[in-house]
Amino acid sequence: MKSILIIRLGLFLFLLHPMAFANIHPVVSLNGYWKFNIGDHISWAEKGFDDSDWDQIKAPDSWENQGYVGYNGYAWYRKSITIPGDAQQMQLYLSLDRIDDVNEVYFNGTRIGQTGGFPPKFETAYNIQVVYPIPSHLIQYDGNNTIAIRVYDDGEEGGLVGTELKLGYDENTQLLALNLSGNWKFSFYYTLSCLKPDFNDSEWDDILVPATWESQGYNNYDGQACYRKTFTLDNTLKDRALYFIGGKIDDKDQVFINGKLIGSTEKMYKTALGNSFWGDWQIRRAYPIPEGLLNYSGKNTVVVLVDDHGGMGGIFEGPVGLMTEEQYQQYEDKYDTEVWFPFKKFVKSLFPD
């Protein structure tokens, strides 16, 4: 009876489970009026484009609810914002919730992400939460910044149809002793020599972490890839137990530091963060770093091998970096209830044996 109840409750909560991306703390709210125009032209992505004669509609909400009844096709949203200078030390993200059906997002005229496929290879992404990291060099702090969103709707409701739009940072990065989000080296085509700390990855692509590789132009790729990042350490962390935190990775991973394997997806299964009830892609990776492995007088290299089985791929949600044991305990306590299903502790209280 107990097992049947748990299975039924698990299936019920599975239907309710929000497959959310990063827990974004807002710096600038993007709810409200946006400039809006139906049609499609690449010049509408430019920061300096004159959109003064465009319509204004509220977002989030479908454009059908705001006078564009029955319209299916291309449309653009534009919004100008000011980002405070005190956010300069943070990795900032655009969190746009759901966009129906396909989107391509530009920040100050530069493309920063895409979800779904535009015609003629249409692929809807209406049910995927849209979160894109913003390259720091694109941001004008305490100045004017422009967000432009290209949308294609294939039918029914269209546009920015979620519940909250914001620009902000992943609040979990506050638990990191060293934040490794940002630019990494990346390749689908690699040999195992890439595990060596002295491997030359200068000809590899640059990719932002965390974010799916699909959102950065690598569409419809399923398979293996390699991420590399070089970092240095503050001596204040010397002789302290440290963890590599890999965020969420779709689907499986192996993590190497200075050429040594420190963890893989399967090693997470029996940890407080590692129940795979939702699938491997929802496990928060956290691997203890063996004593003596890190170099405090020079460079260190972390390599993440990823095997994507379908859908999205890559290191797609943070935090990503190093934590002390104390920071890791806070992180574990925060997400322990996530690994089974919501109300895990409540269920355990009902069945203490």
Q: How far is CA 138 from CA 33, 34, 142, in A?
A: 23, 21, 13
| Cα within 13 Å of Cα(345), Cβ side | 7
Band of residue 20 on the pLDDT scale cut at 50, 70, 90? very low
Burial 70-86 (b: 16+ CB within 10 A, else e): eeeebbbbbbeeebeee
Residue 21 vs residue 276, higher pLDDT:
276
pTM score > 0.95 for this model? no
Q: Cis bond leading into 290, ω under 30°?
A: no
Band of residue 86 on the pLDDT scale cut at 50, 70, 90? very high
Cα separation, 202 vs 190, in Å, equals 13
User: Is the confidence at residue 343, as pLDDT, over 60?
Assistant: no
For tokens 């956010």, what's the residue? 87
The answer to whether the CB of 76 falls within 8 A of the CB of 159 is no
pLDDT digits (tens, 9 = 90+) for 276-315: 677 899 999 999 999 999 999 999 999 999 999 988 899 9
How many other C-beta atoms lie within 10 A of the C-beta of residue 127? 9
Any bridge partners for residue 9, and if so which? none
The answer to whether the CB of 181 falls within 8 A of the CB of 315 is no
The answer to whether the CB of 340 falls within 8 A of the CB of 275 is yes
Dihedral angle sign, alpha carbons of residues 86, 89, 90, 91 = positive
Instruction: Read off the tokens for 273.
Output: 């963060």
Maximum separation of any 2 CA atoms in the chain, in Å? 67
Residue 299 has φ and ψ, to the nearest 5°, of -90, 150
Please give the pLDDT value at position 257.
Answer: 98
Average pLDDT score over residue span 116-145:
92
Averaged pLDDT of the chain: 88
User: Is the confidence at residue 350, as pLDDT, over 80?
Assistant: no
Instruction: Read off the tokens for 227.
Output: 């991420």
Please give the pLDDT value at position 157.
Answer: 94
The answer to whether the CB of 182 falls within 8 A of the CB of 200 is no
User: Is the confidence at residue 15, as pLDDT, over 80?
Assistant: no
Instruction: Read off the tokens for 237.
Output: 């962390």
The C-alpha angle with vertex 212 and arms to 84 and 73, in degrees rounded to 5, equals 85
The answer to whether the CB of 101 falls within 8 A of the CB of 165 is no
The answer to whether the CB of 111 falls within 8 A of the CB of 208 is no
Length of the chain, in residues = 353
Cα separation, 201 vs 196, in Å, equals 11
For tokens 């192996």, what's the residue? 254
Average pLDDT score over residue span 303-332:
95
Taken in order of first residue, the domains within the chain and their CATH numbers are 10-171 (2.60.120.260), 176-345 (2.60.120.260)
Instruction: Read off the tokens for 346.
Output: 């409540």
For tokens 């379908």, what's the residue? 310
